[in-house]
Amino acid sequence: MDNKAGREEILNSIRLGLKRARFKHFEPIKPTSKDIFNTPDKSLLDIFSDELKAISGECYYCSNKDELVEKLKQLHTRENLDLCYSPDKNFVDFVQKANLLYSEEFENADRIKSGISSCEFLIARFGSVLVSSALAGGRRIFSFPEIHIVIAYENQLVMELEEGLDGIMKKYGEDLPSQIINITGPSRTADIEKTLILGAHGPKKLVVLILKS
């Protein structure tokens, strides 16, 4: 038997086998986050707070604006937040009542100690803060100051990152921000001798103040 005849015999055997074979039809599996993650039986607020604290962040719930101002005062006493870069005009009243020395413009960069920003969403699953370059202050506000304070509302809490990204898509449509960042705790690195260092390439502290909606 020459090579050609042998090859044809093998191919015919394969064809015959395929005709006799019975293949089962399987529906594609589309797992959800519930199939992958174990979700605690707690509120979004409690899940977010626990997850953020687990990665060295701080979270405080404020039932009204007066409580938020008081918390800012306490943070200022503890951390000395001056000079505070606070470009969001919605927060001017809070900053003034907390008696913080602040700037709405990015000036005196060498003196800036803290920054106050809003966010797009809070991701409870990971204790993360979803921000974008479309927010007041742009990229500077969540990357430059030593202490990053985020003021958010309770209705910005979502469970999954996908929900936050979907919310951004709905909010901005085709005019998406040039940068979308998911901040998970203070910046950190363990590149040198596997020693964890906070604030290696960004804020050393991340504080989230959640105001009741």
The answer to whether residue 48 scores a pLDDT higher than 50 is yes
Structure confidence at residue 171 (pLDDT): 96
Residue 70 within any structural domain of the chain: yes
Residue 34 within any structural domain of the chain: no
Residue 23 within any structural domain of the chain: no
DSSP letter, residue 119: -
Residue 37 within any structural domain of the chain: no
CA angle 204, 206, 207 (to 5 degrees): 140
Is-contact 118 94, C-beta < 8 A?
Answer: no
pTM above 0.85, yes or no: no
* CATH code of 121's domain: 3.40.50.10420
Residue 135 within any structural domain of the chain: yes
Length of the chain equals 213
59 strand-pairing partners: 208
pLDDT band at 191 (very low <50, low <70, confident <90, very high): low
Domain that holds residue 102: 43-211
Number of domains in the chain: 1
CB neighbour class for 198 (10 Å; exposed up to 12, middle 13-18, buried from 19): middle
Structure confidence at residue 108 (pLDDT): 80
